Structure 1
Amino acid sequence: MLNFYSTIQAKFLLILVPLLIYGATTSYDFAVDDHGIINDHAHVLAGVDGIDEIFTTNYRNGILQFNDGLYRPLSLAIFATFEEIAPGSPMPGHFLNIALCALITVLIFFLVKEFPVKDPKKTAFWTALFFAIMPVHTEVVANIKSLDELLSITFALTTCISILSYLKNRNVAFIGLAALTFFLALLSKESSLTYLAIIPLIIYVFFPSTSLKSSAVLMFPLATIAGIWLYIRHTVLSNMPALDPEVFGMLNNPLTIINNYPDQLASALNVQLTGLYKLFVPYPLLHDYSYDYFPVVKMASMYGAFLLALFIALAGITVWGVYRRKYWAFGLAFYGITISPVANIIFQNSTIFGERLLFTPSLGIAFTIVILASKIKAPKALIWGPVILSFVYGFLSFDRQQYWKNNDTLFAQDITHLENSARGNYNYATSLYKKYKDIDRSEAYKDEALIYFDRAISIYPDYLDAWNNKGSLHIFAKEYSLAEKSFLKVIEIQPLYGKAYFNLAVVYQETEKYALAAEYYQKAIDHNISNADAYYGLGYNLGFINKMDEAKAAFEKTIKLDANYSKAYVQLGKIYGQSGQAEKSINAFKKSIALNPNDAESHFYLGITYLNAGNKVEGQKSIEVAYRLDPNFNNVGQILQQLKAQ
């Protein structure tokens, strides 16, 4: 009788499970980091034309030239391609994530089945299945931005399989394939570099007959590829602006503000224990663990001493097991090696913790569980244990992924567990603010948003984005004095925060303090908010204080930055009309109408310009169109009656 684990049905099941768990995400929106990495990333939004910039700049360079010190061009290039094919659609990204998740599951099977363990295909099947159903993986698969994680492990696993295929068949083509896929893994995510340790570990534990010389020959092409990648990465990043101080700030990683290493280490070990716990007990799963979710742990405390002893013991057992070529120890070592770049133990990372950071390391835990379980001689009644566990974890994964539908569903679900997280409260407050602004102008939304903005600020008083968004909410509610206080507080905390200057300019514009508005639009531009909206606001307010030449220059700059900015053409048309340049005025209004045919203002002032130039026929036509579009605009009805009476 054919062993089930050798059948095509087994492989099909491994593909089917991720599709069943995550299939619904194809209808989901962008969420959390998707917005920054895709929707707000200038190089991604440029489509295929932005790919050159993507490969020659750091990861978040397209977000106002923010330097995060990362180089991950491959996923961004794919996002840019999707933007070219289906602009603004999240569906291609979700489809690709699900497909890669299914592919990864199959790759795990094909890798592990090459290990000389007892019943290799059975071990490979259950390792792959447990990996596929782990609830902590929902953040990676359901969040489009995490394509970098998926690509990294996809190419890294392919590299491992290629190396083992070479050992088996001695076909040099497999070395070439391994070098190529390893390079692609590195272009996906920096942590792929850890496979320079993982591959020798695989050879040492599972293929002890391979000589040290042969291992070195195998690793030389990969080490060369790593060196080339490091050179490219260094060259790109050395030409970028200075590393942004927010990258290693306390909001992202509060471990960075702990003054002594022993307490820093104890606190980091507590975070790592939380990660291990969530692999086995996936509750609660959250989108954010930043300041101040984790407490500071004193190394001198009983708990600190326990953590140190626990992890020294785990490390010791793992090293001993690897030395003795114990298969279960390989899984623990795999976990330790792949988690090390983000563990905040050897060096500081830009984030304290995230479930996505467990994605690749969890493969080691899945393998160790299967190896240890295979050694247990369980009664027949317990044979169904792995199947039941698979259903439970699969259900938990399916249940969690539904909250990743969009920011609103995710933030509302998680907020009850994030009372100590500044960003968690900020995210939920911002979600409520957007509902108030775009969906339902209920005072309840506004009041609740303010409560959570204040909670975020109470946890982290220097939280610039929280102060800024709180002020923006006050602008929308026409509470301009409160808005002004919020933005002035931002500038007090960080004078280089350009968005605060821009928003203060909006406050002064709405309160008809045009000179101040113009001054703060200029300050926003001087502080790197040099977009079309800033230049338009500058020109608009300069016009009110009769600085027409400067206003004209600002509107021309607006159009240079955004050739489709129809309102800038309207304002230029007015300026040209006031200076007697009828032809330029008419052309500007026509350009505005071409961009926005239903704009009553453009038609109205085009008509006025025609009338002033003595062209009554064209003037009346434009006035009639303006009246049809908006009978209440300015005094269009009265002018039209006068024209018809003549």
Structure 2
Amino acid sequence: MQTEQINNEEQLPAEQMESKFKYFPFFNQKQPVFVLVLLGIIFYCTSLYNEYALDDGIIIHQNNYVLKGVSGISDILSKDAYDSFYRRMNAKDQLQGGRYRPLPVISFAIEQEIIGAYRTGNYMFVEDLNHNGVLDNEKLESQHSASKKKLTGPPTETAIVNYEFNEFVDLNKDGVAQQNECNTCWDTNKNFKNDAPEDLNHDGVFNEVDCQVKGAGLRHFNNIWTYILACVLLYLVFRNYIFKQQPDMAFLAALIFLIHPVHSEIVANVKGREDIFSVIFIALTFLFSFKYNETKKISLLIFAGLAFFLALLSKEYAIVLLFLVPLSLYVFEKEKIKAVNLGLLSVCLFFFGAVYTLMRLNAVNMAPGVPDTEILNNPFLLATGEEKFASKIFILLKYLKLSFLPNKLTCDYSYAQIPYSHFADGGFISSLIINLALLVFGIVLCVKRHVLGFAIIVYFAFLVLVINFIFPVGALLREGFLFHASIGVAIAIAWVVFTVLEKMSSVSFITKRTLMISSLLIVLVLCGSKTWERNWDWKNDITLFLKDVKTSPNSVLILGNAGARWIDLADTKEVTGIALEGEDPEKFNDYNGQLKITDEEVRVGNFIDKRDAAIHKGMRYLKHAVELHPRYVNGYLNLGLASFKLNNDRDAIFYWKLAERLYPNNPYLENYYRVYSNILKNRGANAFNAGRNYDAAVAYKMCTLILPNDAEGWYGLGGAFYHLKLYHKAKSSWEKTLKLDPDHQYVGRDLKTIPTK
């Protein structure tokens, strides 16, 4: 009975058949949308409990404008996306062309308002900015700007410094904030204690990270549903215009885009929202443009322009729509397209593109403030002209492979994971031939108004923006760069699959549908497994880098971060088996099984304990990183920290001085020096009081090496030298103290006690 029904179905008129699903068992247009939504939830529900990883910190946690909540939106609209990060790092903008993507960043600020905004723009901030001896509760103007108001001449712009604190608990009921009344950001119950439930990431350490992970689920939830929305909108574009009479192709194309494992980097990484928003508004631009071409309504023309504008505000990649929208009308609207309508649509898109360009030029510095000499941001820094060109072409082959075989995924392909290519390399030659042939084939088919040609052009149009041909993007290759281009991949695969099935005329329809559905189920399982795996990997920096260092063992960025994570977590109970003070001993976080030191590792490496093994494991990664990249500042910073944890003062100072030479104003180094100098001064004082003057001199000498302008360090060194009867050195040290601090309380008196002979 069923066979007879299908045979009769195959005999229906072509017009009636083409408007209905043939291979997929859908009976109305709501069912495929429901399936896309359901699969989207299944594929990405495992990212809902993720925290943050990779660049999330730069765009959210180290972004003062985001942390201020909605009050920071005006700054987000008027500044480079990385402006706040550059300021924190005492650096000038370094990415050529700048980065202006305010729409997704505004969404982060709105989320922060819901999670809990920080009015100072910092998780932890308590400072008497106007030096009046009181923590004021109002936003302050800088003294420099205020003084300008008293001068004659034209008015000057008022520069706002900040609030002096986020919030406080009025313990003494005087209505005035005191330093000791400003609670930490993780002290949610405001009892000024570190309670186990406040360790939100369960790492045994109470710090800003606990404040960062608060509300992470909201951000990931928003990534999931907006991604699903993007896929549904693409399906509508495919169903109504690209595959107008072939709903099976439309659904398969949307499904392929939805389940592609490469997209896990975009969805599971909060910063990927810029790509998700971009595709949402790109799809809307296509929808409104096609609809305008059908109805000629001016309102739809304006909506198309607004959608294009919002796509640009999400990510600049939408600029290719100035070419792709007219091309799509040429390919798919042969009977309806008119020159006047196409002209009006193009003018509208160019107008909104011009508005975006003016906003961008006002907000960002198109040329970098300093030459980018960091190879992690400038991957071709050390390449010859031949190597640059050959490597860019070879990368196209890598993207093609990832499009169809995304089996080994990693968060970073930067220096030195992918070696530079040369003209004689097989990879370069193969890539040049394959991609050039594809491009020519796509152009020829586009001229003939063929959907496959359009798919190929979409693929190359988005990809050409990210392979460093037009402008440097700061990376050699990144899986997330395939997100937009995979729209073309999805269209092409869907067309090829059903074209091949239709060519199998000798095979019964039931067999063909069974073959297609069963094959698709296998692909769904494989892609779902890989996506879930990557979702878990992207939980946070720890899970990501400890996993990907095995996949990308020569990536300096991954090596450096994996090494740092091992050093940071060496004292946690997950490594040592001993819970830290305030840590819940019952909660255990092995970071997806990545943070594990076995007894065998300790024995073979002849380490003292698992903590010692973890620190040395991190140091091995870091030493490999600086071996590959001798100017890698973070590598030296963390090697210094590891040496400090191992009580190796000499190596700690050695590595930190290397970092200082490369990046003198690094804020992390300044903090390390400040903490370490206090430790050394306490050590020196204890040794001095115990009569161990030589040990005191060593401690104070190290203090003056790391902070040569610390008057107290020089004063202590002078005292140690004095009791060692090294009077000329004591005099020199105390004279240095007096030079640094002319009002020092004791040094003048002590200088008089030095024997003249």
Contact 1:284 1:417 in 2 (8 A): yes
RMSD over aligned Cα, in angstroms?
2.7
1:50, CA displacement in angstroms? 1.6
For 2:343 and 2:647, the matched residues in 1 are separated by 69
For 1:5 and 1:149, the matched residues in 2 are separated by 33
Give 1:624-643 correspondences, 5 Å limit. none
Is 2:530 aligned against 1:396? Answer: yes
Structure 1 residues 244 and 27: CA distance shift in structure 2, 3 A: farther
Is 2:621 aligned against 1:452? Answer: yes
Contact 2:380 2:388 in 1 (8 A): yes
For 1:476 and 1:459, the matched residues in 2 are separated by 24
1:492, CA displacement in angstroms? 2.6
Is 2:399 aligned against 1:275? Answer: yes
For 1:388 and 1:417, the matched residues in 2 are separated by 25
Code of the residue aligned with 2:569 in structure 1: it is K
Structure 1 residues 446 and 302: CA distance shift in structure 2, 3 A: closer
For 1:82 and 1:321, the matched residues in 2 are separated by 45
Is 2:587 aligned against 1:424? Answer: no
- In the alignment, which of 127, 130, 139 is matched to residue 256 of structure 2? 130
Secondary structure of 1:114's counterpart equals helix
For 1:451 and 1:191, the matched residues in 2 are separated by 39
Contact 2:564 2:618 in 1 (8 A): yes
**Residue aligning to 1:231:** 358
For 1:361 and 1:129, the matched residues in 2 are separated by 15
Contact 2:293 2:341 in 1 (8 A): no
Contact 1:194 1:338 in 2 (8 A): yes
- In the alignment, which of 351, 358, 376 is matched to residue 251 of structure 1? 376
**Residue aligning to 2:103:** 74
Give 1:244-643 correspondences, 5 Å limit. 244-246=370-372, 249-260=374-385, 262-376=386-500, 377-378=503-504, 379=507, 380=511, 382-384=515-517, 385-439=519-573, 440=575, 442-512=611-681
Contact 1:252 1:291 in 2 (8 A): no
Is 2:345 aligned against 1:218? Answer: yes
**Residue aligning to 2:41:** 19
Contact 1:130 1:390 in 2 (8 A): no
TM-score by length of 2: 0.66
**Residue aligning to 2:50:** 28
**Residue aligning to 1:50:** 72
**Residue aligning to 2:742:** none
1:111, CA displacement in angstroms? 0.5
Structure 1 residues 181 and 542: CA distance shift in structure 2, 3 A: farther
Q: For residues 48-74 of structure 1, give each alpha carbon's deviation from its aligned partner in whole angstroms, at most 9, with x where no partner exists.
A: 222221111101111142524111111
Contact 1:26 1:95 in 2 (8 A): yes
1:233, CA displacement in angstroms? 0.6
1:543, CA displacement in angstroms? 11
For 2:313 and 2:104, the matched residues in 1 are separated by 8
Structure 1 residues 181 and 291: CA distance shift in structure 2, 3 A: same
1:396, CA displacement in angstroms? 2.1
For 2:707 and 2:671, the matched residues in 1 are separated by 6
Contact 1:268 1:343 in 2 (8 A): yes
Secondary structure of 2:630's counterpart equals coil
**Residue aligning to 1:636:** none
Q: For residues 474-503 of structure 1, give each alpha carbon's deviation from its aligned partner in whole angstroms, at most 9, with x where no partner exists.
A: 233433221110111112334454543443
Secondary structure of 1:361's counterpart equals helix
Code of the residue aligned with 1:249 in structure 2: it is E
Q: For residues 36-56 of structure 1, give each alpha carbon's deviation from its aligned partner in whole angstroms, at most 9, with x where no partner exists.
A: 211122221122222221111
Contact 1:429 1:452 in 2 (8 A): yes
Secondary structure of 1:75's counterpart equals helix
Structure 1 residues 392 and 502: CA distance shift in structure 2, 3 A: closer
- In the alignment, which of 168, 171, 176 is matched to residue 302 of structure 2? 176
Code of the residue aligned with 2:61 in structure 1: it is N
For 1:41 and 1:83, the matched residues in 2 are separated by 11
Code of the residue aligned with 1:229 in structure 2: it is Y
Higher deviation after alignment, 275-284 or 131-140: 275-284
**Residue aligning to 2:193:** none
| Alignment: residue pair count | 531
Contact 1:450 1:470 in 2 (8 A): yes
Structure 2 spans left out of the alignment, 5+ residues: 1-8, 10-19, 117-213, 577-610, 682-698, 719-744, 746-757
Structure 1 residues 477 and 38: CA distance shift in structure 2, 3 A: farther
Is 2:212 aligned against 1:92? Answer: no
1:301, CA displacement in angstroms? 3.6
TM-score by length of 1: 0.77
Structure 1 residues 471 and 390: CA distance shift in structure 2, 3 A: same
For 2:384 and 2:60, the matched residues in 1 are separated by 36
**Residue aligning to 2:597:** none
Q: Which has the higher contact order (CA 8 A, sep 6+)?
A: 2
Q: For residues 565-584 of structure 1, give each alpha carbon's deviation from its aligned partner in whole angstroms, at most 9, with x where no partner exists.
A: xxxxxxxxxxxxx9xxxxxx
1:16, CA displacement in angstroms? 1.0
Secondary structure of 2:445's counterpart equals helix
Secondary structure of 1:71's counterpart equals coil
Q: For residues 384-431 of structure 1, give each alpha carbon's deviation from its aligned partner in whole angstroms, at most 9, with x where no partner exists.
A: 323432332233222321211222222222111111111111111111
Give 1:135-146 correspondences, 5 Å limit. 135-146=261-272
Code of the residue aligned with 2:114 in structure 1: it is I
Give 1:148-227 correspondences, 5 Å limit. 148-209=274-335, 210-227=337-354
Contact 2:376 2:474 in 1 (8 A): no
Q: For residues 163-222 of structure 1, give each alpha carbon's deviation from its aligned partner in whole angstroms, at most 9, with x where no partner exists.
A: 111122222211121122211111111111111111111111111231333212111111
Secondary structure of 1:38's counterpart equals helix
Higher deviation after alignment, 101-110 or 160-169: 160-169
Q: For residues 292-331 of structure 1, give each alpha carbon's deviation from its aligned partner in whole angstroms, at most 9, with x where no partner exists.
A: 1111111134443332222221211111111111111111
Code of the residue aligned with 1:311 in structure 2: it is N
Code of the residue aligned with 1:393 in structure 2: it is C
Contact 2:414 2:477 in 1 (8 A): yes
Contact 1:488 1:500 in 2 (8 A): no
Contact 1:506 1:517 in 2 (8 A): no
For 1:466 and 1:347, the matched residues in 2 are separated by 28
1:542, CA displacement in angstroms? 10
Secondary structure of 1:383's counterpart equals helix
**Residue aligning to 2:601:** none
Contact 2:394 2:432 in 1 (8 A): no
For 2:261 and 2:273, the matched residues in 1 are separated by 17
1:107, CA displacement in angstroms? 0.3
Q: Which has the higher helix share?
A: 1
Higher deviation after alignment, 459-468 or 5-14: 5-14
Higher deviation after alignment, 85-94 or 435-444: 435-444
Code of the residue aligned with 1:56 in structure 2: it is S
For 1:544 and 1:45, the matched residues in 2 are separated by 42
